[in-house]
Amino acid sequence: NAHGTSTPYNDKFETAGIKSVFGDHAYKVPISSTKSMTGHLLGAAGGIEAIIMVKAIEDQFIPPTISYETPDPECDLD
């Protein structure tokens, strides 16, 4: 679950960070952001996102990133 605030600055550097950690494998790692569904919950974001990800692993389901219309060429991961 990416931090995924949908700001050009954050998304660009978060994508670069994921690529730095995973290298070429980054293109095969499914990445989503639950903030697209919940909004930014500030102090509650970490706890809520952790619960969503535990359920995602338990149910073997990757939450979608909703309202995604125009891909940013600098954010070219799945």
**With 0-12 CB in 10 A as exposed, 13-18 as middle and 19+ as buried, what is 58?**
exposed
Query: How many domains in the chain?
Result: 1
pLDDT one-digit tens code per residue, 19-55: 999 999 999 999 888 988 999 899 999 999 999 999 9
8 Å CB contact between 62 and 30: yes
pTM score, two decimals? Answer: 0.79
Residue 38 has, within 13 A of its CA and on its CB side, a CA count of: 20
For residue 50, the domain's CATH number is 3.40.47.10
Structural domain span for residue 55: 1-78
Mean pLDDT of 45-74: 91
Nearest-angstrom CA–CA distance, 50 and 29: 18
How many CB atoms within 10 Å of residue 49?
20
